[in-house]
Amino acid sequence: MSPFTAFLESLFDNGRVKVPAPQEIQADDRNAAEKLLLQSEATWRLDQPIGLPEFNVSAGIWSAELVFRAAQFQVFRDVNPEDIQTAFKLAGPDGDSPSSHYSVDLCFKYLPDILRMSSLASSEDPLNDEMSQLLSHWPLSAIGVKSVEPPVRGDAFKHQGLWRMFVDRVIAKGDERLMAEPQIQQSIEVAVGAFPDLVPACQKQIKEREKLSE
């Protein structure tokens, strides 16, 4: 199996990956990776609520390549900063499409872990800035990343399925900055229904808001 495809297969399977030294991704490797993305997304979708956006394989492969590069640069730390910047300038998909946000997250949801490991290895690594800058454009994938300000959400998040996915991620990550937003608090209250104790951080935010309004 080619390196890029093998990386993605391990990433989706157990999150433990091996990466080769940075090099060009061959056309047949990228084609095989696209097929794997389609298969993995279809399997993942079976366990999710209905109504999610359509998967865009072009957006998916774009994010997959950037995660692959980030993992390589995190391991091979002698790479020139210019090469890192060049790799992260790869043109991406429409940033205000529900499909784009959903599709890139298939791989970008792993990016915060790479950022955390890279930051622990060196807080001054230019790779950290590139990953942070990338996450600052993708609100769903940036949830829970304390070093990145919560990105502005555009019209894409008016999509009910994407918004539900966003709120579920906020709950799962316990992102208190986002829980402080009234709109998100309301959506969390609807999501948890009669079991508000499941999200204690959100309850704390609600009580603080109530005190301020007294």
Structural domain boundaries in the chain? 3-158, 174-214
Confidence tier at 49 by pLDDT (50, 70, 90): confident
87 pLDDT exceeds 80? Answer: yes
Query: Tell me, what DSSP letter sits at residue 119?
Result: H
Question: Which pTM does this prediction carry?
Answer: 0.88
How confident is the model over 81-105, as a mean pLDDT? 91
Helix, strand, coil % in the chain, rounded to nearest 5: 65, 0, 35
Residue 202 above 80 pLDDT?
Answer: no
22: CB partners within 8 A, 6+ apart:
69, 72, 73, 76, 79, 83, 87
| Contact between 93 and 56 (Cβ < 8 Å) | yes
For residue 24, what pLDDT is reported? 87
User: Is the pLDDT assigned to residue 122 strictly greater than 80?
Assistant: yes
Q: How many CB atoms lie within 10 A of CB 201?
A: 16
How far, CA to CA in Å, does 44 sit from each of 12, 60, 116?
Answer: 10, 14, 25
Quick count: other Cβ atoms within 10 Å of Cβ 198? 13
Are 28 and 2 a contacting pair, CB within 8 Å? yes
Q: What pLDDT was estimated at residue 121?
A: 86
Quick check: 124 pLDDT over 90? no
**How confident is the model at residue 210, as a pLDDT?**
52
